[in-house]
Amino acid sequence: MGDPVERFESEVLDSITVIKVASADELCMEIDPPLRENVATAEDWRKALDKVVPAVVVLRITGCRAFDTESAGASSATGFIVDKRRGIILTNRHVVKPGPVVAEAMFLNREEVPVHPIYRDPVHDFGFFRYDPGAIQFLNYEEIPLAPEAASVGLEIRVVGNDSGEKVSILAGTLARLDRDAPHYKKDSYNDFNTFYMQAASGTKGGSSGSPVIDWLGRAVALNAGSKTSSASAFFLPLERVTFLHKGFDETRRLGLRSETEQIVRHASPAGETGMLVVDSVVPGGPGHKHLEPGDILVRVNGDVITQFLKLETILDDSVNKNIELQIERGGTSKTLLLLVQDLHSITPDYFLEVSGAVIHPLSYQQARNFRFNCGLVYVTEPGYMLFRAGVPRHAIIKKFAGQEISCLEELISVLSQLSRGVRVPLEYISYMDRHRRKSVLVTVDRHEWYAPPQIYTRDDSTGLWIAKPAFQSNSLFLSSGVTDFGNLARQPVSLTEEHACGENVSEDNNQELVDGVTSLETNHEDPSAYASHQNVSDGLAKKRRVEECLSADGSVVTDLSLNGTGEAKLEKSSALQDDVLMDYQGATAAAANASFSERVIEPTLVMLEPALRRGDSVYLVGLSRSLQATSRKSVVTNPCAAVNIGSADSPRYRATNMEVIELDTDFGSTFSGVLTDEQGRVQAIWGSFSTQVKFGCSTSEDHQFVRGIPIYAISQVLDIIVSGANGPPRLINGVKKPMPLLRILEVELYPTLLSKARNFGLSDNWIQALVKKDPIRRQVLRVKGCFAGSKAENLLEQGDMVLAINKEPVTCFRDIENACQALDKSYDGDNYGKVHMTIFRQGQEVELLVGTDVRDGNGTTRAINWCGCIVQDSHPAVRALGFLPEEGHGVYVARWCHGSPVHRYGLYALQWIVEINGKPTPNLDSFIDVTKELEHGEFVRVKTIHLNGKPRVMTLKQDLHYWPTWELRFDPDTAIWHRNIIKSLNCTTTAVVQI
DSSP code string of 298-331: EEEETTEE--SHHHHHHHHHTTTTSEEEEEEEET
Q: What is the C-alpha R_g of the chain?
A: 35
- pLDDT for 799 equals 94
Catalytic annotation, pick one of 15, 94, 716, 904: 94
Respond yes or no: is residue 259 known to be catalytic: no
d(C-alpha 70, C-alpha 53), whole Å: 29
Q: Which of 214-223, 566-575, 907-916 has the lowest average pLDDT? A: 566-575
Catalytic annotation, pick one of 83, 125, 192, 580: 125
DSSP 711-753: ETHHHHHHHHHHHHT-SS-EEEETTEEEEPP-EEE--EEEEEE
Q: Are 298 and 244 in contact (CB under 8 A)?
A: yes
d(C-alpha 459, C-alpha 349), whole Å: 9
- pLDDT for 510 equals 53
HEC string of 627-660 equals CCCEEEEEEEEEEEEEECCCCCCCCCCCCCCCCE
Please give the average per-residue pLDDT across 457-472, as a whole number: 91
d(C-alpha 215, C-alpha 52), whole Å: 10
d(C-alpha 521, C-alpha 542), whole Å: 17
Superfamily of chain region 617-724: Trypsin-like serine proteases (2.40.10.10)
The residue with greater pLDDT, 486 or 913, is 913
The yes-or-no verdict on residue 766 having pLDDT over 80 is yes
**Which of 137-141, 270-274, 450-454, 524-528: highest mean pLDDT?**
137-141
Q: How confident is the model at residue 571 (pLDDT cuts 50, 70, 90)?
A: very low
Please give the average per-residue pLDDT across 686-704, as a whole number: 79
Count of C-beta atoms within a 10 Å radius of residue 105? 25
Please tell me whether residue 130 adopts helix, strand or coil conformation: strand
Average pLDDT over the chain, rounded to an integer: 77
Respond yes or no: is residue 94 known to be catalytic: yes
Q: Are 979 and 960 in contact (CB under 8 A)?
A: no
822, containing H or E segment = helix 814-823
Q: Are 252 and 262 in contact (CB under 8 A)?
A: yes
Q: Which of 14-18, 38-42, 689-693, 971-975 has the lowest average pLDDT? A: 14-18
What stretch(es) of the chain map to CATH 2.40.10.10? 617-724
The yes-or-no verdict on residue 260 having pLDDT over 90 is no
Respond yes or no: is residue 395 known to be catalytic: no
Alpha helices (H) in 179-290, listed in sequence order: 249-254, 259-268
The yes-or-no verdict on residue 560 having pLDDT over 50 is no
- pLDDT for 219 equals 92
Q: Are 162 and 212 in contact (CB under 8 A)?
A: no
Question: In angstroms, how far is the first alpha carbon of the chain from the final one?
Answer: 50
pLDDT in tens, 844-886: 999 999 999 998 887 788 899 999 999 999 999 999 999 999 9
- pLDDT for 599 equals 40
Catalytic annotation, pick one of 208, 227, 635, 791: 208
What stretch(es) of the chain map to CATH 2.40.10.120? 43-237
- pLDDT for 636 equals 95
pLDDT in tens, 658-687: 999 999 998 887 767 788 988 888 888 988
Give the predicted TM-score (pTM) of the model. 0.77
The yes-or-no verdict on residue 473 having pLDDT over 80 is no
Instruction: Tell me the CATH number of domain 743-856, given options 3.20.20.30, 3.30.420.10, 2.30.42.10, 1.10.40.50.
Output: 2.30.42.10
Q: Are 393 and 451 in contact (CB under 8 A)?
A: no
Please give the average per-residue pLDDT across 590-602, as a whole number: 38
773, containing H or E segment = helix 765-774
d(C-alpha 569, C-alpha 521), whole Å: 8
Q: Which of 29-38, 219-228, 702-711, 871-880 has the lowest average pLDDT? A: 29-38
- pLDDT for 203 equals 58
Q: Which of 459-468, 727-736, 975-984, 987-996 has the lowest average pLDDT? A: 987-996
The yes-or-no verdict on residue 132 having pLDDT over 70 is yes
Class of domain 245-341: mainly beta
Tell me how long the chain is. 996
Q: Residues 713-716: contacts with CB within 8 Å, 24+ apart?
A: 713/609, 713/612, 713/815, 714/575, 714/578, 714/580, 714/659, 715/558, 715/575, 715/580, 715/582, 715/686, 716/496, 716/607, 716/609
The yes-or-no verdict on residue 42 having pLDDT over 60 is yes
Q: How confident is the model at residue 271 (pLDDT cuts 50, 70, 90)?
A: low
Please give the average per-residue pLDDT across 640-664, as a whole number: 89
d(C-alpha 435, C-alpha 368), whole Å: 13
**CATH number assigned to the domain covering 351-470:** 2.30.42.10
**Using CB atoms within 10 A of its CB, is residue 230 exposed (0-12), middle (13-18) or buried (19+)?**
exposed
Q: Which of 6-15, 67-76, 176-185, 634-643 has the lowest average pLDDT? A: 6-15
- pLDDT for 598 equals 37
Residues 174/175/180/183 CA torsion (nearest 10 deg): 60
Estimate to the nearest angstrom the gap between the alpha carbon of 567 and the chain centroid. Answer: 18
The yes-or-no verdict on residue 547 having pLDDT over 60 is no
What stretch(es) of the chain map to CATH 2.30.42.10? 245-341, 351-470, 743-856, 863-984
d(C-alpha 678, C-alpha 676), whole Å: 7
- pLDDT for 102 equals 93
pLDDT in tens, 792-848: 999 999 999 999 999 999 999 999 999 898 888 777 667 788 899 999 999 999 999
DSSP 218-250: S-EEEEEEEE-TTSS-EEEEESS----EEEEHH
Task: Return all residues near 288 (Cβ < 8 A) that are at least 6 apart.
Answer: 279, 282, 339
Q: Which amino acid, one-letter code, is at 922?
A: T
d(C-alpha 806, C-alpha 803), whole Å: 8
Instruction: Tell me the CATH number of domain 43-237, given options 2.60.40.10, 2.40.10.120, 3.40.50.2000, 3.40.50.2300.
Output: 2.40.10.120
- pLDDT for 727 equals 62
d(C-alpha 31, C-alpha 45), whole Å: 12
**CATH number assigned to the domain covering 863-984:** 2.30.42.10
